[in-house]
Structure 1
Amino acid sequence: MNSKRLSGLGIRKIALLGLTLSLLISLLAACSGGSNESAEKRVLRIGFVSGSADMESYYRQQYTDTYEIMNQNIEIEIVNAINYDDQRFEQTEPGKPSEQPDPYEKMKEMLTGQNPVDVIVFDYNQLRRLTQDNLLQPLDPLVTQDKFDLSDYVPTVMDGIKSAGDGNLYALTPTFSSSALFYNKKIFADLAISPPTDKMEWQEVFNLARQAAKGEGEDRNFGFSFNRWMSDGFNDTQVYSQALQLKIWDDKGEKMLVNSDQWEEVWNTVASFYKDEIVPTQQYMQTMYEKQSEMGGGHDPFNGDLFIKGRVAMTIGDYGYINELKRASDHASKIKDFVPVDWDVVTVPVNPNDPETGGSIYLSQLMGINAKAQNDKDAWDFIKFINGKDWAKLKSRSVYEMVARKEFLKPIGGLQYNIDAFTTLKPLPPASSDADMVYREKPGIWEAQQFGYQLFQEVIEEKKSAREALAEWETKGNAVLERLKTNPEGGNGGIEVMPMPR
């Protein structure tokens, strides 16, 4: 009799377990957005611009494992347009450089070949060309059809995506990176100067920098730095000129555009910052390194980062810099004579001709549906899942990137700062497809840029005026561009070319 009772209990337990599993499967199917309507096994091919066998594991952990668990009838295949292993193990003739594949052309083959991928993951600078070549499906009809809520998407991200698609939505991204202007609150308070605010023009920030730069020698506090690391004047002119949407050459790479009033203003401004020590100079940094060496060296956890050391009033940094500032503050007691920076952020400076634009937005995980996708239904379901609120909630824990859904954008580690500074401005418009093509069709075009480095040093040293140096850069650059018409690979042809700084 006891045996029969145990048998009955066992049957009931098995039945209960079966019911539980059935409910769990139903729940997972519901969470997946309906992809489990059919038990038929289906393949979803997801393409990446580059990768290798080792990177496939990372791609799966980062993007697909959770979706695959929740969609048991979907098999994910990872495809790389460029396989790093092919280049790593390729044997080339001595003295002959290996041929570098064109990323865009390889990606195009992956999208249009006999077995095309369904989803493509790519960078922002490739979006405009993909849409112009009609390689992506528009997502607007799918968003409308499924009533997929994008109302809380960060406007700067949505604006950036649509601006590359002529106002249409061809891709979505779950995360993004952005930059802001970090400032030292104590420096401004001690000098009784009003700190920077959102949407200040570049010249307004530069004026503040001059007011904030004080002190002599080792005790110098600098007003501004174009980035948190030691740089040089020429690279700083590139940052400033790009923010003003100036170009070195035309979109076809046939004519230099640097001999202009706008470029002269850029060079004069940045050169004066170095001559007046408004920005950290290489001489100052060398003095600091020599002093550290004389005192026995020792480990510098900040590796020359002068903002974190309280020596720079303002600097441009990306979102991940917040984590570095927090870590420094959390471990301040372990660092001799270190006082954590009291900081906040505002938007990066803006161009007065376009005060709503200026955001340095980096969209590296854009996802679109191939126009020739064999499984576009599951492709859209996957993109919805990765760009949904549940996924955004998980990714909001990251300290290096921001989630595209504003609902889950929270300050890191309970800190208090102006997080809107990273999302307020529209991103700078993407380069035209013609401009991108120049670098692929004329690999030697970098030679035309190199002249600018040495010429700018001569401006700082007051050997030439900015306009004289720019006119010389124009002449030498045009000579290079002319040679590239018959020899796109370059080769200085007897012209002395200064090495670019590292």
Structure 2
Amino acid sequence: MKNRLWGKRVLAIVATATLALPLIAGCTASENTDNEQRVLRVATLWGGQDDSYFRQQFTDAFELTHKNVTVEIVPAVDQGSMYGFGNSEQPNEMPDTMESLKKIMTGDNPVDVVVADTTTIKSLIQENMVKQLDPLMQEDKFDTSDIVPSVLEGIKDLGDQNIYALTPTFSSSALFYNKGMFEKAGVEPPTDNMTWDDIFNLATRLTKGEGKDHVFGMAFTTYSGGSPYYSMQQYYNSLQLKVFDDKAEKMTVDSPQWEKVWSTVSKLAIDKVIPKGDEPQNQQTEGRYDPVQGDLFLSGKTAMAIGDYNYINQLIDANKNADKMKDFTKIDWDVVTPPVHPEAPEIGGNIYLSSLMAINSSAQNPDDAWELIKYMNSEDWAKIKARSSYELVSRKSFIKPKDGLDYNIQAFYTLKPVPPTNTNLDKLYQKMPGLWQVSDKGMEYFNQVLENKKTPKEALGEWAAKGNEMLAKLKKDPKATFQ
């Protein structure tokens, strides 16, 4: 599981959309009037020989409008170092990104800007390694009124209500629903800010049919197949439940909160309100490519599903090409905010701030560092980047529905992101590579609940006991692995 999480962070840092250079040339960002040539060093968590994608998203436009500044991209970890990772014949350790980042932020030639995610930035704030931006923003009268409030509040949550970083883009998710299914069932569709219990009640009312004609009321993801063990994280993330304590010494799953989560989700799966993961998959026929195969929402197998912002592209493409696909009918859809828990009514939706930009406290060129951050978070840049199909820009004036459609775009940015709790988690996984197996072990016990072999309380108790054994072994031998 850890590798998947790392993969997500790496992709979130380097995945980009190509910018339209002719438009960039017309931007009106201020330029330095002196002839002094300066270097601005920008740190990323990961990078490789080819940094063109990163430059296209973050620095090309800045260099074109600030001709006296040359940007150097400095990755904390070279992706080339991962070649051969996991090869038993040549064992090597997962690079410690945080320690690697600290090295390039200090020393004789420190970087000026750091581009990273919330967990990393929070760690740097706690260690006083990045500058507070509030004084600079006040001095330059930098306007934040157009920045998505939930994004700005999420940033402030990292630094005790102070601003240490800004992000030009963010990713998010929302609850997609099939308007036609609700209308046909005579049920009022979901609305923003509904609780999980509200949505589960609606899902129960929309569940219908048997066998291949069965329709789920809801799914935690648009993709079919697989146990809900991982996808149900959508349900409990905002509760900030932990599998083990911050030192990875003791399991924390044997608790009433965890029992409620497992009881709720397992019952929904057993009652076929949500996918259980063992449903038969439709087979591709006659060698034809079927773009809706494996997609619960597009195939009409669920009335509601949580999907990322970029899922809109698939819906638009499918509806545009409906006449070319056998047995496919256009879907009349809309979105609302992901469900929330009463304990955390403002948090949810997997808002992910992966491109936070901060100034190194030891920056050699702090002035140009601030100029870069200002430009990347300006209206000029937002206007260009708003064309992206994969992320949303942080300035809400430029967040608009695609293709002239009319859907609830605000659903993607109304809720606040889940604040990071344990900034030491990455270091624990690097120190103990087998730690992910402790979390993965839970799926074995959760599936026993789905099979009615154990109650949630029994299964969680056994997972806690087994997990404590595994944690004890890892404490003695951090490189231990498990069968």
Partner residue, 2:275: 280
Partner residue, 2:452: 462
Structure 2 Cα separation of the partners of residues 148 and 481 of structure 1: 48
1:110 has 2:104 as partner: yes
Structure 2 Cα separation of the partners of residues 372 and 392 of structure 1: 29
Partner residue, 2:11: none
Call closer, same or farther: CA 1:63–1:450 in 2, change over 3 Å.
Answer: closer
1:166 to 149, 152, 160: 160
Partner residue, 2:3: none
Q: CA deviation at 1:297?
A: 4.9
1:312 to 302, 310, 315: 302
Call closer, same or farther: CA 1:209–1:408 in 2, change over 3 Å.
Answer: same
Partner residue, 1:246: 241
SS at 1:348 equivalent: coil
Structure 1 Cα separation of the partners of residues 451 and 105 of structure 2: 52
Q: CA deviation at 1:285?
A: 3.2
1:448 to 411, 433, 438: 438
Partner residue, 2:13: none
SS at 2:219 equivalent: coil
1:82 to 77, 85, 90: 77
Q: CA deviation at 1:436?
A: 4.1
Q: 1:28-43 maps to which residues of 2 (within 5 A)? A: 31-34=28-31, 36-43=32-39
Q: CA deviation at 1:91?
A: 10
> Residue 85 of structure 2 contacts residue 91 of structure 2 at CA under 8 Å; is this kept in 1?
no
1:147 has 2:141 as partner: yes
Structure 1 Cα separation of the partners of residues 347 and 236 of structure 2: 14
Q: Supply the AA of the counterpart residue of 1:483.
A: K
Q: 1:348-387 maps to which residues of 2 (within 5 A)? A: 348-387=338-377
Partner residue, 1:342: 332
Q: CA deviation at 1:300?
A: 1.3
Partner residue, 2:206: 212
Q: Which of 428-437 and 161-170 deviates more?
A: 428-437
Structure 2 Cα separation of the partners of residues 278 and 31 of structure 1: 53
Partner residue, 1:47: 43
Call closer, same or farther: CA 1:281–1:460 in 2, change over 3 Å.
Answer: closer
> Residue 29 of structure 1 contacts residue 71 of structure 1 at CA under 8 Å; is this kept in 2?
no
> Residue 46 of structure 1 contacts residue 121 of structure 1 at CA under 8 Å; is this kept in 2?
yes
SS at 2:434 equivalent: helix
Deviations 1:325-377 (A, max 9, x none): 00111111111121111111111110111211123111121111110001101
Structure 1 Cα separation of the partners of residues 365 and 184 of structure 2: 62
Structure with more helix by fraction: 1
Call closer, same or farther: CA 1:302–1:30 in 2, change over 3 Å.
Answer: closer
Q: CA deviation at 1:284?
A: 2.5
1:407 to 390, 394, 397: 397
Deviations 1:462-487 (A, max 9, x none): 11111111111111011111112111
Deviations 1:424-473 (A, max 9, x none): 11111212223443323332222322321111111111111111111111
Partner residue, 1:182: 176
Structure 2 Cα separation of the partners of residues 45 and 125 of structure 1: 22
Structure 1 Cα separation of the partners of residues 397 and 408 of structure 2: 15
Call closer, same or farther: CA 1:263–1:383 in 2, change over 3 Å.
Answer: same
Q: CA deviation at 1:66?
A: 2.0
SS at 1:485 equivalent: helix
> Residue 95 of structure 2 contacts residue 430 of structure 2 at CA under 8 Å; is this kept in 1?
no
Partner residue, 1:8: none
Partner residue, 1:432: 422
Structure 2 Cα separation of the partners of residues 92 and 452 of structure 1: 23
Call closer, same or farther: CA 1:350–1:93 in 2, change over 3 Å.
Answer: closer
Q: Supply the AA of the counterpart residue of 1:203.
A: D
Q: Supply the AA of the counterpart residue of 2:212.
A: E
CA RMSD, 1 decimal: 2.0
Structure 2 Cα separation of the partners of residues 333 and 170 of structure 1: 51
1:59 has 2:49 as partner: no
- Which structure's CA Rg is the greater one? 1
Q: CA deviation at 1:383?
A: 0.9
> Residue 241 of structure 1 contacts residue 247 of structure 1 at CA under 8 Å; is this kept in 2?
no
Q: Supply the AA of the counterpart residue of 1:218.
A: K
Structure 2 Cα separation of the partners of residues 182 and 386 of structure 1: 31
SS at 2:193 equivalent: coil
Structure 1 Cα separation of the partners of residues 82 and 277 of structure 2: 38
1:298 to 278, 283, 288: 288
Q: CA deviation at 1:391?
A: 0.3
Call closer, same or farther: CA 1:344–1:128 in 2, change over 3 Å.
Answer: same
Partner residue, 2:123: 129
Q: CA deviation at 1:130?
A: 1.1
SS at 1:429 equivalent: coil
Q: CA deviation at 1:47?
A: 1.4
> Residue 128 of structure 1 contacts residue 432 of structure 1 at CA under 8 Å; is this kept in 2?
no
Q: CA deviation at 1:93?
A: 9.0
Unaligned runs of 5+ in 2: 1-24
**When the two structures are superposed, what TM-score results if normalisation uses the length of structure 2?**
0.91
Partner residue, 1:7: none
> Residue 120 of structure 1 contacts residue 370 of structure 1 at CA under 8 Å; is this kept in 2?
yes
> Residue 309 of structure 1 contacts residue 341 of structure 1 at CA under 8 Å; is this kept in 2?
no
SS at 1:137 equivalent: coil
Paired residue total:
458
Q: Which of 78-87 and 303-312 deviates more?
A: 78-87
Structure 2 Cα separation of the partners of residues 68 and 467 of structure 1: 58
Structure 2 Cα separation of the partners of residues 420 and 453 of structure 1: 34
Deviations 1:23-73 (A, max 9, x none): xxxxx9994435x2321111111111111122x222222222222122221
1:417 has 2:407 as partner: yes
Q: CA deviation at 1:490?
A: 2.2
Q: Supply the AA of the counterpart residue of 2:173.
A: S
> Residue 401 of structure 2 contacts residue 409 of structure 2 at CA under 8 Å; is this kept in 1?
yes
Q: CA deviation at 1:408?
A: 0.7
Structure 2 Cα separation of the partners of residues 326 and 387 of structure 1: 29
Partner residue, 2:67: 72
Structure 1 Cα separation of the partners of residues 86 and 383 of structure 2: 48
**When the two structures are superposed, what TM-score results if normalisation uses the length of structure 1?**
0.87
> Residue 228 of structure 2 contacts residue 275 of structure 2 at CA under 8 Å; is this kept in 1?
no
2:190 to 196, 213, 221: 196
1:325 has 2:315 as partner: yes
Q: CA deviation at 1:232?
A: 1.0
Unaligned runs of 5+ in 1: 1-27, 498-502
Structure 1 Cα separation of the partners of residues 33 and 288 of structure 2: 63
Q: Supply the AA of the counterpart residue of 1:47.
A: A
Deviations 1:219-267 (A, max 9, x none): 1111010011123132234332223221111111111111111111111
Structure 1 Cα separation of the partners of residues 217 and 287 of structure 2: 27
